Amino acid sequence: MIERTIKRICVFCGSHSGAREVYGEQARALGRALAERGIGLVYGGGGIGMMGAVADAVIEARGEVIGVIPYALAAKERARRDVDTRVVNTMHERKAMMAELSDAFIAMPGGFGTLEEMMETITWGQLGIHQKPVGLLNVAGYYDPLLAMIDRAIEEGFVLPRYRNLFVASPAVDELFDLMRGFQPLEGLVKWIEMSET
C-alpha cells in the first residue's frame, strides 16, 4: 500500500462550539496534530466556534494556516487577520479554492454548512473530480447517525457498495490520519474532465 504525502488538509467544522466541551477539545487536538506533522490547515477563515479552535491550536504550534472566507461572512464569522486569509465573493468560490489548496479533507462536527461541504466533497470523489482522501472525525459518535444513513442508502440501492470507500471515519485523530495516508482511490471511476470533453 502506497502512503500519501499530505501537505495541507482542508478542515470542515462548525462556526459554533457545540453543546459539549469534547468538540472544542478535539478541534484543538486536531490543530495540534496537524502542526506536529507539518501539515498545513486550510479552513473557512473564521475566528469563532470549532473553526477558531482548530486555527488557534495550529497557530499556537507555529503551523501554517490558510483561511478562505466570503466577503458576506467576514464580519459575522470574525475573519482572522493574523493568518493568510483569502476573501472571495461566493460560497462556491470558497469551496473551490479550499479544495484546490488541499491534499485531503477532514470533517469535524458541525451544522448544515459542514454537512453540505463534506457531502459535496464525497460526491466530487464519486464523480472523479478529485482523488483525495476524505475523513470524518467522528467525535463522541456525532456522525454515527449519518454513517447509518449511508449504510441504509447502500442497502436500499441508492448508493453502490463500493462508494462506501470514498471516505474513512474514526473517533481518534491519530487513527484518522493513518487511514487517510493509506487511502486508495476507487478504480474505474469516470473522471469528470473526461466526461465533460465527450
Sequence ranges of the domains in the chain: 8-197
Q: Rg of the Cα trace of the chain?
A: 16
Q: Looking at this protein, which amino acid is placed at residue 27?
A: A
Edge-first strand order for the sheet with 65-70 is 84-88, 65-70, 40-43, 8-12, 104-107, 134-137, 168-170
Q: What are phi and psi of 169, to 5 degrees?
A: -145, 145
Q: What is the pLDDT along the chain (198 residues), one digit of tens a residue?
A: 445 689 999 999 988 999 999 999 999 999 999 999 999 999 988 888 999 999 999 999 999 999 998 887 776 666 667 788 898 999 899 999 999 999 999 999 999 999 999 999 999 999 989 999 999 999 999 999 999 999 999 999 999 999 999 999 999 999 999 999 989 887 765 554 444 444
CATH topology of domain 8-197: Rossmann fold (3.40.50)
Output the CA–CA distances (angstroms, integers) from residue 190 to 67, 108, 118, 125, 131, in the order listed: 31, 29, 21, 10, 12
DSSP state of 7: S
> Whose grid coordinates read 459539549?
20
How far is 56 from 31, CA to CA, in rounded Å? 8
| Confidence at residue 48, expressed as pLDDT on a 0 to 100 scale | 87
Q: Give the model confidence (pLDDT) of 16-65 as tens digits.
A: 999 999 999 999 999 999 999 999 999 988 888 999 999 999 999 999 99
Residues 6+ apart with CB under 8 A from 72: none
First to last CA, the chain: 33
| Confidence at residue 167, expressed as pLDDT on a 0 to 100 scale | 96
How far is 77 from 70, CA to CA, in rounded Å? 10
